[in-house]
A and B are shown apart, each in its own frame.
Chain A
Amino acid sequence: MSDKAHAQSGVRYGMAIDLDKCTGCMACSVACQAENNISFRPDESNKLRSITWMEVYLLDNKKDYPDYQFTYLPRPCMHCDAPHHSPCTFVCPVNATTRDEHNGIVTHIYPRCIGCRYCIVACPYHARDFNWWDPKWPKSMEAMLSPEVSPRMRGVVEKCTFCHHRMLKARSKAYNEGSDPDQITYVPACAEACPTGAIKFGNLHDPQSEVAKLAKDPRAFRILAKLHTEPKVFYLSKYQWVHKLSDNGLGEAAH
């Protein structure tokens, strides 16, 4: 990697998820599964044991009625923006996962991945999954697979890509129209599917973008912010217990 690769440009794709708007319907998760050709197993009752790029967690404040409160938390890949490396790209021995310093997207190249799973261990957000089995779909579903995303083989790691194939298509369109491909905006499948508009996506470096404004909202927080992984996925919640939970006790330990 040259020094040039670390120079940041004007584009930084990020996401803002409003937990106060999230109803936990999991449309984002389903849309992601369909968009990215994620295969499934006969028993999908335990999502922690299957491949899900957009995981939806149920959090509660551990109090009894009438103080009981809960919230849902959709979790894509955070596309960590820590200087030089994300936790996963730092440990990859074969450079299969790298961060594009031009737009901040952390990518994973499946044929290069050797399946060592260091990145899964390194990721503080459990955003990565390992393909223990060959991807399989019922015969009748094969025609529904998206040609925009290549399916992953057994033995490699995969994760959310911020639907970068949609970015490539949008860039292609911009090239064809003669406009600046770096000025494009696109919408990932999860944000498109969200019925309440809880998921917003855009360029964090563009002060006019909705996602940049939401990132500066007083309700905004990032998960495990104290680890300084600099996630590019921001969450919004009006509840302090949610903010506190996002630290996972790191805040208390520091005091």
Chain B
Amino acid sequence: MKENKSGGSGSTLGIIAFFAGLIVSLVVGWVVFPNLLYSQKTQPMNFSHVAHQDTSCEDCHVFRDDGTYGGVPKLAKCKECHESQMGQTKDEQLLVEEYVQKDREIPWKIYAYQPDNVYFSHAAHKGKVECVQCHRDVVKEEKTPVYFENKLTGYSKQTMKMDECEKCHADKGGSNNCEICHK
């Protein structure tokens, strides 16, 4: 009897300790560690995709003739319209005064930037995969999201991971050989 009693209270305490420990580990794993691992960075200025709805996506995000993808447009593209200020926003003022007039490229942080040894061809995926399957949907985006930089690797948190590439390639019958994506 005596043994049973102490065993009973011991196991209750054990269960409480277990759940307390579980909650602590979950909080550490889901909240504390990610906050420690990623530093939050903002873009040099805000870019509103909504404000540019009068142009089509392909006006700025172009394929070059050799099949490579232009990605985020260079300053020359912005200059075509924003040689001088068109609106009233602070961000546009920043663009004109700091970048267009000084002829400095904008140091955008690229959310989908891949490591050095990865080769990705947009041309090979055009028409087979929707843009939003890999990139965020920008149609209704007014504010550029926060850029999360991994403090250990220096890479973006939002970038595509290799297992996602592999999975889609396997599903759709694409090659999963190393040299198709690595250089």
Contacts and interface: CB of A to CB of B under 8 A. Distances in A.
B116 A150 contact: yes
Contacts of A176: 63, 67, 123, 126
What band does the interface of chain A fall in when counting residues whose beta carbon is under 8 Å from B?
20 to 34
Q: Which of A98, A148, A169, A176 has the most CB of B within 10 A?
A: A176
Given A100-B175, A169-B66, A175 B123 contact: yes
A164 B183 contact: yes
B88 interface: no
A98 B126 CA distance: 28
Interface residues of B, number: 18
A175 B64 CA distance: 12
A208 to B, nearest CB: 24
Contacts of B175: 100, 102
Contact of B126 (A100, A111, A175): A175
B180 A168 contact: yes
Contacts of A164: 179, 183
B183 A98 contact: no
B182 interface: yes
Interface in A93-124: 98, 100-102, 105, 107, 109-111
A151 B115 CA distance: 12
Given A98-B177, A176-B67, A176-B126, 17 more contacts: A98-B178, A100-B175, A107-B179, A107-B182, A148-B183, A150-B182, A164-B179, A164-B183, A165-B183, A172-B121, A173-B66, A173-B67, A173-B123, A175-B67, A175-B121, A175-B123, A181-B124
